[in-house]
Structure 1
Amino acid sequence: MTGEVAVLGAGMHPWGKWGRGFVEYGVAAARAALADAGLEWRDIGSVVGADTVRGGYPGYVSGATFAKALGWQGARVTSVYAACASGAQAVDTARAQIMSGLADVVLVVGADAAPKGFFRPAGGERSDDPDWLRFRVLGATNPTYFGLYARRRMAVHGDTPQDFAQVKVKNAAMGALNPNARYRAPVSAEEVAASPVVADPLRLLDICATSDGGAALVLSSMDFARRHGAARPVRIRAVSTVTPRFPNTVLDLPDIATDSWAAVAPPDGTFRTSIARAAYEEAGIGPEDLSLAEVYDLSTALELQWYEDLGLCGEGEGAKLLREGATSLGGRIPVNASGGLASFGEAVPAQAIAQVCELTWQLREQAGDRQIAGARVGITANQGLFGHGSSVVAVR
């Protein structure tokens, strides 16, 4: 059995602050993906929803929520939650169902209606949740974390606020070409530098917004795709949902009188590098094979870190890669041709799905003015809190 599944359809509800419920955005994206696939809702054998904890009980059972909104028709239903990696987990679940023969064609949907301002912990007191503790005990909102990470890059690698600003300039230029993006105007480095400081050294335009939006995919077996007339569809070749590897210790008690600990060597790389490595290994490719990458640019500094974690350049060389123009349209390896979170903002359970939508359109050569010439292989990357990896490799 092949490890690939076909992407028959991709659809989105444009990002913004629309003031409506997440179900409306998800249903609109689902219908767009079905239309793109040339299928009817009744053709779908399974629905996998990426959960949103901000949607109340319907958000926790998003698979059933979307199935009900589209009209009960007997499909299997699954709901998954993995914070920012929820969309990749949903794609992986759909792929597993297809490869196991449980379903020929699966609809994957994620949508969110985000609050204004910083994300806050949802679901009450959760003292066993590191995210809750970070907010409540340390007072470290997401921008605080982003600022600390940016300071680390400045101290260790010599990055500058001007480098960070150029990430925003690049992504805003590409987002201006994307009809689904929330922010569709070019931004200058001077405008970034003039925006208010939020978490030193990062300014308002260095940090992504919170947004409403939805994204959906129709995935199928390769046999179904051929029967449906899709002779050469975009294929998902790998999905990485790995967890971190911490140094382990092994208790050694040779006798009752002595205790000793044998430390296991730490992993060879960071959690984010392991996410990419697992995707590359499963897909049988390397960074040199990529045509494009879509990464989770929660802040401009974090995008530079992803360059290194994906192996697009060596450690500490992210800013150099940016300055050379390699990650811009027309460069060696465009990153965030969609405009990224800089242009969309964060609609958490939809974003990893939206990344695969962008790969699909690029690999089909349907990306319009932001099209990357000759795109054949793409990768997505982000991570969810509490140790959720998220990376998808798609090929044409």
Structure 2
Amino acid sequence: MPDTNNRDIAVLGAGMHQWGKWGRNFVEYGLVAARAALADAGVDHRDVGYIAGADTIRNGYPGFVSGATFAQALGWSGARISSSYAACASGAQAIANARAQILAGLTDVALVIGADAAPKGFFQPVGGERRDDPDWLRFHLLGATNPIYFALYARRRMALHGATLDDFAAVKVKNAKHGLNNPYARYRKEVSAEEVAASAIVSDPLRLLDICATSDGGAALVLTSMEYARRHGTSDPVRIRGLSTVTPTFPKTVLDLPDFATDSAVAFDEPSRPFRAAIADAAYEEAGIGPSELSFAEVYDLSTALELDWYEDIGLCEVGGAEELLRSGATTLGGRVPVNPSGGLACFGEAIPAQAIAQICELTWQLRGQADGRQVENAQAGIAVNQGLFGHGSAIIATR
């Protein structure tokens, strides 16, 4: 059973279904990914003691109970199951559930699966008329679809830190180049800054090529106790060292606004950290490493501008320093700390329950030295981060 003296777990297998628009049931994508992960781990599905499904709420009742759906599709083996929904952090919540089962000694082997068959166009609120739901109200009262939300972040970055359209375009150019050699990416084509600038304006200042698509896709992981990995013949597996799914901290629950304590009668002992930064901080603390020890990062690039915010939130540079970090080449393959060597959502698009799991697949392949054509040299530690709806966020740190 798991070593109770530490909280590391092993990533023994990783598998994916290629992202795209295939028009098939999400279960098919999840099964392809799961079978690939099991084959990668050399584990039979009947040895799996726990199946954690990441939910896809746009795919009917089977999507709401994805753990049971995937267990049934694999052939019912008596495994414990769970189903998790946390918006774009759903996959990380599923990983957290599996890790807890392993560390509690309830199982040695867990299978984590996420897959989606995304609708065409922008995501919309789900669940019908929900007038007490801030997300529903954002769409219906303000007309603030997700691209408008992304554009507000971009405008804020331009106003506060001097970001330019050229900076946003450079993020897309970088990620498109990274994704060229990723066989699971939907878009595998180099893009020029001129092409980004010439693409249609979706929500000013963001162009079409600044914003990620919605996609079908699937990803899966086989997670085990460290002792099981050793018994299985893997003496030095990729390991998950830190996992954070913390909520925002009042008063800075969305943006890093001016210090609330200086603008009100309420006093706080110390300034609160922005939500995304707090997610990363908790993972660093658990893993026992800091940003300077990262070899690379996979970040949630819903838009090119948002990727720049993540540079600061995960500590790759000081606040306001993201543009200079990008321009220096540090976040490009061959640079000091490549960001989104997989190509990111710019090349994959969103398959919501799968994307946090897919990021750990990339961390695994990079740390094993198996990311052909996009390999980060001497990769030793990586972080994957997501931001989901209503305070659902995640950060996962993996190392060799």
TM-score range, shorter chain: over 0.9
Match of 1:372 in 2: 376
Match of 1:282 in 2: 286
Match of 1:164, as an amino acid?
A: F
Matched, 1:56 2:71: no
Match of 1:80, as an amino acid?
A: S
Match of 1:15, as an amino acid?
A: W
- Where does 1:43-192 land on structure 2 (aligned, <5 Å)? 43-192=47-196
Structure 1: 5+ residue stretches without partners: 249-260
Is the CA contact (8 Å cut-off) linking 2:88 and 2:389 kept in structure 1?
yes
Shift of 1:283: 0.5
Quote the Cα distance in structure 2 between the aligned partners of 1:91 and 1:379.
14
Percent of aligned pairs with the same amino acid: 72
Quote the Cα distance in structure 1 between the aligned partners of 2:351 and 2:30.
11
Shift of 1:120: 0.7
Per-residue CA deviation, residues 5-27 of structure 1 (Å, 9 max, x unaligned), is 00000000000000001100001
- Where does 1:217-366 land on structure 2 (aligned, <5 Å)? 217-247=221-251, 263-264=267-268, 267-366=271-370
Is the CA contact (8 Å cut-off) linking 1:247 and 1:265 kept in structure 2?
no
Quick one: structure 1 residues 125 and 267, their matched pair in 2 at CA, closer, same or farther if it must change by over 3 Å?
farther
Is the CA contact (8 Å cut-off) linking 1:134 and 1:141 kept in structure 2?
yes
Quote the Cα distance in structure 2 between the aligned partners of 1:393 and 1:53.
27
Shift of 1:135: 1.3
125-134 vs 285-294, greater mean Cα deviation: 125-134
Match of 1:254 in 2: none
- Where does 1:28-47 land on structure 2 (aligned, <5 Å)? 28-47=32-51
Match of 2:259 in 1: none
Shift of 1:74: 0.5
Quote the Cα distance in structure 2 between the aligned partners of 1:303 and 1:233.
29
Structure 2: 5+ residue stretches without partners: 253-264
Number of aligned residues? 384
Secondary structure of the corresponding residue to residue 142 of structure 2? coil
Shift of 1:263: 4.3
Secondary structure of the corresponding residue to residue 386 of structure 1? helix
Shift of 1:265: 5.1
Secondary structure of the corresponding residue to residue 43 of structure 2? coil
Match of 2:326, as an amino acid?
A: L
Secondary structure of the corresponding residue to residue 92 of structure 2? helix
Secondary structure of the corresponding residue to residue 128 of structure 2? coil
Secondary structure of the corresponding residue to residue 337 of structure 1? coil
Match of 1:319, as an amino acid?
A: E
Secondary structure of the corresponding residue to residue 150 of structure 2? helix
Per-residue CA deviation, residues 271-292 of structure 1 (Å, 9 max, x unaligned), is 0110110010000110000001
Shift of 1:264: 3.6
Is the CA contact (8 Å cut-off) linking 2:250 and 2:272 kept in structure 1?
no
Is the CA contact (8 Å cut-off) linking 1:13 and 1:26 kept in structure 2?
yes
Secondary structure of the corresponding residue to residue 47 of structure 1? strand
Per-residue CA deviation, residues 249-281 of structure 1 (Å, 9 max, x unaligned), is xxxxxxxxxxxx854457432001101100100
Secondary structure of the corresponding residue to residue 33 of structure 2? helix
TM-score of the superposed pair, with normalisation by structure 1: 0.95
Match of 2:260 in 1: none
